[in-house]
Amino acid sequence: MKSKATGHIATAAAYAIFGLNIIFCKDIADSDVISPIALFSVRAIGAAVLFWLISLFVPREKVPPADLLRIAAASFIGFFITQYTFLEGMTMVTTIDAAVLGTLGPIFTMIFAFFFLKEPITFKKASGVALSFAGVLFLIFNSVHSGGASSSTVGGILLLLFNSLSFALYLALFRPLIERYSVITFMKWIFLFALLMSLPFSAKGLLAVDFASIPSSLALEIGYLVFFATFVAYFLIPIGQKHLRPTLVSLYAYLQPVIAAAVSIAYGLDTLSWQKIVATILIVVGVILVSFSRAASSASASTSGGDLRV
């Protein structure tokens, strides 16, 4: 139970950070001070430097070439594709459409986990995902939505749909790999590979950015993205993945619109209403249902030597 609590705390904290990340990413995207792919590289540079520096002070783990290839694949699917499609897609969709598309992640994860990890789709788990999904949609359609594109393009919708699919695939495919290594070892390689993948596409854009002229408010938001939404959040996510099933980890994504609504209320951009309270209750109850659904069937446990038990 202690390890499960650790997983819940780490995952909840990460997705709370992501909640603010959505607001800041949209603000930065609308400012046009830096291109989406260049912003991704800035995040990858910052996180890679921090993880490699910390790795100098912890026991070194040897990663065989075969696992390095697997980590490179994880970086491509779970970070390069996921982050790029999100940052690029956010410039082409309305805020409300982005929020609605973001609700599909846990559903995709549940399906992928069923096929790749043999994680059973129990009635309790499906009910929990459905309840949280309903709560998020109820929250989205009862909140004030400002900013964003004037209308969503097909390209933007497809990018954010691909964003949800790729991160769901990452959560379902790479849990066994994540469990083999410490968070520091895994993430230092993840971000190094992500940086190497992005530089050929972002080098020109990075050189064109006049960092000295970026307004201080935007500079602080970029700093938040690099340190909290990249380094801290992606330090916490693998901890959650080690202790919780993929579907439950992904379900915490439903915290993001709750955080966004809370920030809007705090700044007077939105108001607290009974609809938001009901939506939040639905989301929390859904997470609890998934948490207490059958942790792992005998089939899923035997598939990974019992690694999927929580």
What are the sequence ranges of the domains in the chain? 2-303
- pLDDT of res. 117: 86
Q: Which residue in 168, 28, 13 sits closest to 87, CA to CA? A: 28
Helix, strand, or coil here: 65? helix
Question: 284 φ, ψ to 5°?
Answer: -65, -45
Name the CA dihedral angle for 106, 147, 195, 232, rounded to a multiple of 10 degrees. -60
Which tokens belong to 235?
């330090």
State the residue for tokens 């609605």.
100
pLDDT of residue 146: 55
Cβ atoms of residues 173 and 112 within 8 Å: yes
Separation in Å, CA 99 to CA 96, 138, 141, 197: 5, 11, 10, 28
Ranges in the chain, pLDDT < 50: 295-310
C-alpha closest to that of 257 among 96, 90, 112, 122: 96
Q: Residue 153 to residues 23, 139, 243: CA-CA distances in angstroms?
A: 20, 23, 38
Tokens of 277: 């309270």
Question: How much is the pLDDT for 31?
Answer: 85
d(CA 73, CA 96): 31
DSSP-derived 3-state class of residue 93: coil
One-letter amino acid at 2 equals: K
Q: Are 40 and 202 in contact (CB under 8 A)?
A: yes
pLDDT for residue 224:
95
Spatial distance between the Cα atoms of 75 and 182, rounded to a whole number of angstroms: 16
Query: What is d(CA 264, CA 270) in angstroms, rounded to the nearest whole number?
Result: 5
Q: What is the pLDDT of residue 153?
A: 86
Comparing C-alpha atoms, which of 249, 250, 238 is closest to residue 183?
238
| Mean pLDDT score of the chain | 85
CB 193 within 8 A of CB 47: no
CB distance 106 to 251 below 8 Å: yes
User: pTM, whole model, 2 decimals?
Assistant: 0.82
Strands (E) across the chain are located at none
Quick one: pLDDT at residue 276? 81
Task: Tell me how far CA of residue 102 lies from CA of 20, 128, 215, 243, in angstroms.
Answer: 14, 17, 29, 23
